[in-house]
Chains A and B, each alone.
Chain A
Amino acid sequence: MTIRSVETKYLERREEILRALVNLDRRAFLRVSGAAAAIAATRGIGHAHSFQPVRVDAPGAVEPFRFAYISDSHLYERKLNDRFIRSLLRAVDDVNALDPQPDFVLYGGDLAQLGQPAELDLGAQILKELKAPVKMMVGEHDWYLDLGEKWRSLFGKDVYSFDHKGIHFVVLNSVVEDDFWTVRGLTPMERMKTVAGLDNRSQSNFQVGPPQREWLTKDLEPVSDDTPVIVFSHSPLYHLYQGWNFWTIDAPEVQRILARFRHVTVIHGHTHQLLTNRIKNIHFHGMLSTAWPWPYAPQGLPELTVQMNRPNPFNSQDGCGDGQVLVNAEGLVDKVYNLWNRNVVTVAHEYLESNGVQKRPAAANVATY
C-alpha cells in the first residue's frame, strides 16, 4: 500500500503526534500545540503551520492541498529495456522538484510490464526515491502473472481507504477479470501476456466485482454525504471503449454507490492520455503514462474531453508525463497534466462544474483522426 522512505516515516510520526494532540481536550491541546509550535519556531523549523489545530476547529472541512501522480510506467528489467526506466526516473525527478512538496504521490498502476518480480522490485526501488509518501494502486500489468502475490508482498493491500485533510480517499482494484485462463489451460505467463495486450480480445473485461463493491458500501457507510470523496481506480470507472478495456463492466453499480455524495472525483490510469468526463455528481480524470501514450479510442470518447495533441512519433517521450491534483476547499479538484516537452494542461473544476462552458482548455491542433 505505502512505500516508506525515511522522509515518509518522519512525516508519519509527525502525523501520529498530531492525532494524539487532537484527542486531548481543547485546553490541553492548545497548551501542547502552542508549546510545540513555539519549539518549532525557536528551532527555525519551517513547518510550524502543520501545528495549527485544523481538525479540532473545522471537523469535516477540507484544507486545500495537492498531491502528485505518476502512472503506467510499464517497466521491463534494465537488461532488456531501459527506456521506460529512464522515463519513470524523469517523473520521480519532476515530483521531487516540486516546491512545496505534494502531500503524497499516487502511483496509478501498471508499474511493471509483465508482472515479473524483478520488474516490480525495480519499480519499488525507484519509487523509494520519492520524497513524499507514495499511495500505490495496482494495474493489470502488475497483477496477472501471479494474481497480485508479488505486488501485495511489496506494497500491501490493493484495496483500501484513508482520510486526508477532510477528503475520504478510496483505492480500488478495478482490473479484476473473470477466469478465462483455466479452461484454456494457459500458463501464468500466457495469461499475463494475454492481459498485457491492450487490443487482445481473448480476455475478459475489467470489473470491480461484487466483494469489492460490498466492501466499498461498508467503507463509505460512516462517511457523510457532504464529505468529498476521491476514488482511485486503474481503469476508467465508466464505459468508454470495451475493445481496449477502457471500460469497467460494473462501473454503473459503483457510480450508484457513490451517488449520494455531493462531490466525487475519480482519478484513473490505463488510458495514457488527457481524458475528462462527468457523469452526474462524479468528475473523472485520466492520468498520463510515463511509458507511451495511447491513441484515443475509435468510439465512446466523452464530450467533455479536450484531446491532447496527437503524439509525435519522432519524440519518444511526447504525450507522456506526470501531473498533480489540486484539491480546493470544497473538495473539488483541478487536474494538472504535466506533458513532457509541451505546455502544461490544466482541467479546472469550473470546466466540469459548468459542463464545459467555463475555463475550457485549449483545443488540440494536431488532432487524432
Chain B
Amino acid sequence: MKTTRSLRWFLVTCGLASAACTADSGADTKEGDPANVRVQLCDGQTSLDLESAPKTRSEGQAAADALMASWKTKNPEKGWEEAVRSRHFLAPMHDNSALLAGGQSTGDPGRAFTERDLLVWERETGRLVAEGARIFHSGDELGSTIAVSCDMCHPDAANTHPETYPKYQTQIGKSVLLRDMINWCLQHPVRAEKMAEDDPRMRALEAYIYAQRTGTPLAYGKH
C-alpha cells in the first residue's frame, strides 16, 4: 500500500510539475532514434529513455515504476524506516480517525480533515520517531567512542521516564529537561560529545523516547 502510494505520488509529480520532472523530446535526439523521450525523476538525476511519451495510465505507471526501481537501487539506505520498524517495537501512534466524522467541520476548510491529512501526520511523525529509534540503537550515530548505545540500558526506551521532567537532578545541580539527561548519558555512559539542543538527532531521540511512553500521565518532578 505504502509503495503504491509513493509511486503514484511520484507519477503525479512527474505528470504535473514539468519543470521539476521533464518528459521532453530533447534537441539532442534525432528523428527515428529509439530513445525519443527522456523521463526524469523529481530528484533531477534519475532518468529513463522511452520510445514515446506514455499515453495511457498503465504506460505511465510502468515508466514511474521503472524510475522508482532505479532510484531505490541507487539509494538502498532509503528503506531505513521499514528496516527500523521490522527491528524495533514502536508504540502505536494516537488514532485520529474520529476527526473524519464530519459534523460541524463539514464545510470548514481549516477543520475538514481528509484521510490524506491523517496519512501525512502519521507518516511525518512516524518517520521522526523511527529516526529516533535508529539513533537510539546505534553507537555510531550517537558518536560513542566505546561502542555503547542507549538501548544497552534502556531496551524499548524503558527506564527513561520522559514524563518526569522537569526535575531537580542533584548530580547535575539544576532542574533538568529530558534533553539534559540525554546529554548527560551521552557524555558519561555513552562517552560521546553532547548534542546541541536543536541537533536533529536530539530532536529524534526525544521524539522516540516520548513516543514510547505514550499513555503515561505526566508527573513532573517525580524521582
Contact = CB atoms under 8 A, between A and B. Distances in A.
Interface of A: 76, 80-81, 83, 113, 194, 197-202, 243-244, 292-295, 298, 310-311, 313-314, 316, 366, 368-369
Contact of B89 (A83, A194, A201): A201
Nearest to B216: A369
Contacts of B39: none
B145 to A, nearest CB: 8
B87 A201 contact: yes
Interface residues of B, number: 23
Contact of A198 (B151, B171, B188, B223): B151
Contacts of B4: none
B221 interface: no
Main secondary structure of the interface of B (DSSP, over half): loop
Given A202-B86, A295-B159, A314-B171, A197 B154 contact: no
A159 B159 CA distance: 35
Contacts of B188: 313, 316
Nearest to A114: B147
A198 B155 contact: yes
A313 B189 contact: yes
Contacts of B218: none
Interface string B133-144: 000010000000
A199 B86 CA distance: 11
Contact of B86 (A201, A292, A294): A201
Contacts of B148: 81
Contact of B154 (A243, A295, A298, A316): A295
A83 B86 contact: no
B151 A295 contact: no
B171 A197 contact: no
Given A313-B189, A368-B159, A197 B86 contact: no
A340 to B, nearest CB: 16
Nearest to B181: A313
Interface in B155-174: 155-156, 158-159, 161, 171
A81 B146 contact: yes
- Give the top 10 A-B pairs by smallest Cβ distance, nearest first: A199-B155, A81-B146, A295-B158, A295-B159, A198-B155, A314-B171, A202-B87, A199-B156, A200-B87, A202-B86
A224 to B, nearest CB: 42
Interface in B168-223: 171, 184-185, 188-189, 223
A203 B103 CA distance: 46
A369 B158 contact: no
Contact of A197 (B151, B159, B185, B223): B151
B164 to A, nearest CB: 9
A244 B147 CA distance: 20
Contacts of A293: 153
Contacts of A197: 87, 137, 151
B152 interface: yes
14 contacts: A76-B147, A80-B146, A81-B148, A198-B151, A199-B155, A243-B156, A292-B153, A293-B153, A294-B153, A294-B155, A295-B153, A311-B153, A313-B189, A316-B188
Main secondary structure of the interface of A (DSSP, over half): loop
B88 interface: yes
A316 B87 contact: no
A340 B146 CA distance: 23
Contacts of A199: 88-89, 137, 151, 155-156
Contacts of A314: 171
A195 to B, nearest CB: 12
A279 to B, nearest CB: 25
A240 B189 CA distance: 28
B136 to A, nearest CB: 10
A275 to B, nearest CB: 15
Contacts of B184: 313
Central interface residue in A80, A310, A314, by most chain B CB within 10 Å: A314
A304 B66 CA distance: 60
A44 to B, nearest CB: 50
Interface string B62-101: 0000000000000000000000001111000000000000
A272 to B, nearest CB: 10
Contacts of A298: 156, 158
A21 to B, nearest CB: 50
Contacts of A202: 86-87
Contacts of A83: 146
